[in-house]
Amino acid sequence: PTRRSSDLVDYQPGLFETVDQNNRRYAVAIRPNGTYVTPENPARTGEVIRVFVTGIGQTTPAIAAGQTGSGQRVLADIVVGLNDTGVRLVSATYATNLTGIYEIAFEIPAITATGTDRPLAVVVVRNNGQFVYGNGSTIAISQ
């Protein structure tokens, strides 16, 4: 089928995920020491965690289709939701040496509820203030 311009969307955020041996979905997330966040290696309160998403739009300087990233800053406003509340966004960039992938860094507040499957979401805010939600995921967090 042919796509019409009316079929295109400006944002379609999607968190990259992995599935464990019990078929549970987790966001692909990296701790400050470079290790992956897993239930056995949870993120800790106070840490800055990096997750990877697609579909969050243009950067500055601008990127072309198929171009690899070099840390360009995302133009859209981004909100990270953890345990159904907004948390501090540290940065939103086009991932270095990758294509079509963005890296979102956020801080896990000290008061965050812990557990092996805490809800996580990345939301894009359009210029008119409308939120564009992507797939929700989970992340493991401990003290």
- Give pLDDT tens digits for 67-104: 899 999 999 999 999 999 999 999 999 999 999 999 99
Residues counted in the chain: 143
- List the single range of 25-39, 58-72, 89-103 with lowest mean pLDDT: 58-72
Q: Flag whether pLDDT at 58 surpasses 70.
A: yes
Tell me the pLDDT tens digit for each residue of 1-14. 554 545 556 899 99
Angstrom distance (rounded) from CA 108 to CA 103: 16
Q: Tell whether the model's pLDDT for residue 66 goes beyond 90.
A: no
Prediction pTM value: 0.90
